[in-house]
A and B are shown apart, each in its own frame.
Chain A
Amino acid sequence: MLDLDPGPYGFYIWMSYGLSAAGLGGLAVFSLVFTRRWRRRAEALEARAREAEPGPEMQP
C-alpha cells in the first residue's frame, strides 16, 4: 500500500525528493533552453552567411 506518511522524518524525506526534482528538472529545462537558443542562433547565422556568399552564377 502506498505510504506517503513519513512520520517524524517528513522534513528530511520530502526535502530530499524536492531537491532532487528541482535539481534534475532545472537541469532538463536549462539544457533544452541552451540547445534551442544555440540552434536558433546557428540557423540564423548560417542563413545570413549563405546569403552573403556569392552563388556559382556570380563567380567569375
Chain B
Amino acid sequence: MTQALAFLYNPHRFMAFSAWAAPLLGALALALAAAGLWLGFTAPEDYQQGDTVRIMFIHVPAAWLGLFVYVCLGGASFLSLVFRQALADAAARAAAPIGAVFTALALATGSLWGKPMWGAWWVWDARLTSVLVLFLFYVAYMALRAALDDEAKGARAAAILALVGLVNVPVVHWSVEWWNTLHQGRTVFAAGGSRAATVFLIPLLLMSLSYMAAFGALWLVRIRGEVWRRRAAAAEARLAR
C-alpha cells in the first residue's frame, strides 16, 4: 500500500506519474466538456427559469470544485504541517490559485444567474456570504505565503490558516439547510434523491466531471512547476556555496 502511494510523496515518482497523467486528464476534461456542452445546449428550456437554466451547467460545477479544492488544500496542508512532506506543501501551494479561480467563477456566474431570476446581482444570503468567505480564505492563504520572506515560516502559517478555513466548508455546504436562504436548497444531493430532471442532470454531471478532470490536470501541472521551482532554488544555493 505504501509502495502504491509512493508517487504521492516521492518527487521523482510523482514527476514520472504526472508527466503522463496531466495531459491525459486535460484531454478527458475537454472531451467531457464537449459532451456536456452539447447536451446542455440541446436540453429544453426550464419551465420557470427559461434559458438561464444553462448557467447551472457551469455555475454548480465551479461551486462544487471551489469547495472540493479547499478540502484538498486543507488535507495537503495537514500532511505538510504534521508529516513535513515537501510534496504536500507544494500540492497545497499549487491548489490555492486553482480553488480561488473556481470559487470566483462560482460567485460571478451565480451573480449573473441571480440578476435575471432574483432581480439582484448580490444578496447577503448565508450561501453567498459563506462562499465569499471561502474565496477570501483562498486569497488570504496566497497573500500570507507571498508576504513572508522565510518560505518555511510562510508555509507553516499558511497551512494553519488553511486548516482554520476548513471550518467554513460545512457551513457552505449546509448553509441552505441551517438558514432560510434566497439561494435554492440542495437539488442534486437532496434527501430522497435528485430533484433535477434527468435532461438537466446528465449535462450537469458531465460538466462536473469535466471540471474535476480539469482540476486534476491543472493541479498536477502546477505541482510540477513547484517542484521545478524548488529544484531551481536548490541548484542556486549549490552554486552560491
User: Interface of A with B (CB < 8 Å)?
Assistant: 1-4, 6-7, 9, 12-13, 15-17, 19-20, 23-24, 27-28, 31-32, 34-35, 38-39, 41-42, 45-46, 48-49, 52-53
CB–CB B232/A20 < 8 A: no
> In the assembled complex, how far is the CB of residue B217 from the closest CB belonging to chain A, in whole angstroms?
8
Ranked nearest first, the 3 interchain pairs of A and B with the lowest CB-CB distance are: A35-B225, A45-B235, A38-B228
CB–CB B221/A12 < 8 A: no
- What are 15 contact pairs spanning A and B, CB under 8 A? A3-B41, A3-B44, A12-B52, A12-B116, A13-B54, A13-B55, A16-B109, A19-B105, A24-B105, A27-B218, A28-B26, A28-B218, A34-B225, A38-B228, A46-B235
CB–CB A42/B229 < 8 A: yes
> In the assembled complex, how far is the CB of residue A41 from the closest CB belonging to chain B, in whole angstroms?
5
Main SS of the interface on chain B? helix
Point out the residue from B104, B113, B224, B228 that lies within 8 Å of A12, measured CB to CB.
B113
> In the assembled complex, how far is the CB of residue A1 from the closest CB belonging to chain B, in whole angstroms?
6
CB–CB A19/B108 < 8 A: yes
List B contacts of A24 (CB < 8 A).
101, 105, 214
User: Interface of B with A (CB < 8 Å)?
Assistant: 26, 38, 41-42, 44-45, 50-52, 54-55, 58-59, 62, 97-98, 101, 104-105, 108-109, 112-113, 115-116, 214, 218, 221-222, 224-225, 228-229, 231-232, 235-236, 238-239
CB–CB A27/B101 < 8 A: yes
CB–CB A20/B229 < 8 A: no
CB–CB B229/A38 < 8 A: yes
| CA distance in complex: A45, B50 (Å) | 58
Q: Which residue of chain A is the closest to B97 with respect to CB atoms?
A: A27
